């Protein structure tokens, strides 16, 4: 890593036309769990701090850019949540109808609110957020071609990132320790993964079609006995093929959304989808406030998989927008399992700016399950709220 920074510094020093901008965010976070822990060595209160600077440089009239975005968090109790990552370290070159990106990058695919089925390029940084939104940086070579028929993208990914898991002292984890990863590929994390995607705007529709072949980002969890006779969970990363479709239809104040995938290569070949709508009403009761009403249905054919949380579920949500200078916004959501009345989850997400540099976020996550085979069963005492104060520079 030191060698990489030295090469970059030499490059910048030798290019008198390079513009360099430095920005970023630093923050503190407090998590508080509402119930006593299920397992030993867990706490009810967790404090942490994080830093994510960003360096941006462009040259050749903006046709070449470089983004460098490292990340580091230190956690009071969970050694696994104390971690660092290179979220981005990517050079990009732009031409009239194409662009090339090389390095460590982040790519998002998808349209729905409650689950992102088609979003498969980057690995989930589970220790960061329970909702799966935080992602690890992915080494890749990416080529995008722009035409009248849409954007065509190709990705080659020479190195795989394992999913992060909470440590022994962390909450939001299974009851036994997570061990070393297992791979189906003999090349393990150095297997070459590939993906292609087409996306286009057609009248009021946003359409995406993707194909992925390589190491699954979503491992299967295998329980084994360790050398000392203690049970442990090993993440198994199979070789998969996945086809995905995502749609967004804009019709006035209505948004209609769909994501659907078919995946083969793991224990079960399966199809899954999320579909629903969002309706936004501005100027509620003559005020400046806006309300968004959301509903999504989740379906997953898998019967026995720790990460299959949306097998036959319904999500209902309410988005509140104050439309003020602080950009205050709140989102309330409730997800009900349609087959198990006692299995459900809820979430609250709120954020606002205090000044041009300071902002706050308040999130809450709540879980309930009486079914020992349901993923939420292991989280049934992990209801928590978290508050973060962030400074942008």
Would 1 be classed as within a structural domain? Answer: no
Q: Please give the pLDDT value at position 230.
A: 85
Sheet strand arrangement including 220-225 = 182-183, 231-237, 220-225
In a 3-state reduction of DSSP, which class is residue 340? Answer: coil
What domain range is 220 assigned to?
25-392
Q: Which tens digits make up the pLDDT trace of 220-233?
A: 999 998 888 889 99
Q: Please give the pLDDT value at position 16.
A: 45
What is the rounded distance in angstroms from the CA atom of residue 261 to the CA atom of residue 385?
32
Quote the tokens at residue 34: 């509402």
Quote the tokens at residue 62: 């903006």
The reported pTM is 0.92
Q: Please give the pLDDT value at position 15.
A: 52
Would 18 be classed as within a structural domain? Answer: no
Quote the tokens at residue 306: 């720790």
Would 12 be classed as within a structural domain? Answer: no
Q: H helices within the chain, ranges in order? A: 2-14
Question: Which strand (E) or helix (H) includes residue 329?
Answer: strand 329-337
Give backbone dihedrals phi and psi of 81, rounded to 5 degrees, phi first. Answer: -80, -20
Q: Which tens digits make up the pLDDT trace of 84-98?
A: 999 999 999 999 999
The maximal CA–CA distance of the chain, rounded, in angstroms, is 68
What is the rounded distance in angstroms from the CA atom of residue 132 to the CA atom of residue 125?
7
Would 31 be classed as within a structural domain? Answer: yes
3-state helix, strand, coil in the chain (%, to 5): 5, 55, 40
What is the rounded distance in angstroms from the CA atom of residue 243 to the CA atom of residue 245?
7
Instruction: State how many domains the chain has.
Output: 1
Residues of the chain with pLDDT under 70: 1-17
Residues contacting 95, CB < 8 A, separation 6+: 63
Q: The CATH number of the domain where 264 resides is what?
A: 2.40.160.100
Query: For the chain, how big is the Rg over CA atoms in Å?
Result: 22
In a 3-state reduction of DSSP, which class is residue 164? Answer: coil
Residues contacting 2, CB < 8 A, separation 6+: none
């Amino acid at each position: 890593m030191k060698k990489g920074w030295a090469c970059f510094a030499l490059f910048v020093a030798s290019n008198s036309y390079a513009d360099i901008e430095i920005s970023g965010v630093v923050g503190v976070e407090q998590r508080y769990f509402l119930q006593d822990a299920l397992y030993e060595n867990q706490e009810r209160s967790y404090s942490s701090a994080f830093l994510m600077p960003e360096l941006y440089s462009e040259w050749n009239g903006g046709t070449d850019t470089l983004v460098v975005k490292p990340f580091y968090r230190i956690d009071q109790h969970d050694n696994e949540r104390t971690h660092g990552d290179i979220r981005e370290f990517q050079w990009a070159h732009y031409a009239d109808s194409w662009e090339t990106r090389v390095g460590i990058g982040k790519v998002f695919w998808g349209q729905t609110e409650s689950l992102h089925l088609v979003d498969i390029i980057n690995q989930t940084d589970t220790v960061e957020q329970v909702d799966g939104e935080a992602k690890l940086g992915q080494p890749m070579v990416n080529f995008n071609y722009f035409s009248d028929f849409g954007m065509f993208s190709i990705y080659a990914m020479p190195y795989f990132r394992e999913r992060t898991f909470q440590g022994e002292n962390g909450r939001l984890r299974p009851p036994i320790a997570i061990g070393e990863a297992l791979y189906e590929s003999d090349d393990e994390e150095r297997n070459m993964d590939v993906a292609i995607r087409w996306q286009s705007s057609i009248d009021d529709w946003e359409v995406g079609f993707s194909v992925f072949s390589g190491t699954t980002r979503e491992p299967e969890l295998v329980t084994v006995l360790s050398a000392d006779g203690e049970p442990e969970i090993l993440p198994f990363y199979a070789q998969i093929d996945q086809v995905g479709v995502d749609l967004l239809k804009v019709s006035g104040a209505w948004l209609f959304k769909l994501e659907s995938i078919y995946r083969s290569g793991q224990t079960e070949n399966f199809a899954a989808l999320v579909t629903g709508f969002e309706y936004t009403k501005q100027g509620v009761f003559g005020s400046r406030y806006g309300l968004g009403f959301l509903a999504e249905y989740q379906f997953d054919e898998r019967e026995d998989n720790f990460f299959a949380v949306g097998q036959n579920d319904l999500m209902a949500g309410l988005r509140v927008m104050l439309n003020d200078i602080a950009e205050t916004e709140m989102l309330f959501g409730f997800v009900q399992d349609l087959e198990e009345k006692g299995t459900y989850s809820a979430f609250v997400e709120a954020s606002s700016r205090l000044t041009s540099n300071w902002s706050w976020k308040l999130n809450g996550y709540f879980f309930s399950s009486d079914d020992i085979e349901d993923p939420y069963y292991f989280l049934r005492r992990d209801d928590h709220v978290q508050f973060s104060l962030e400074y942008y520079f």
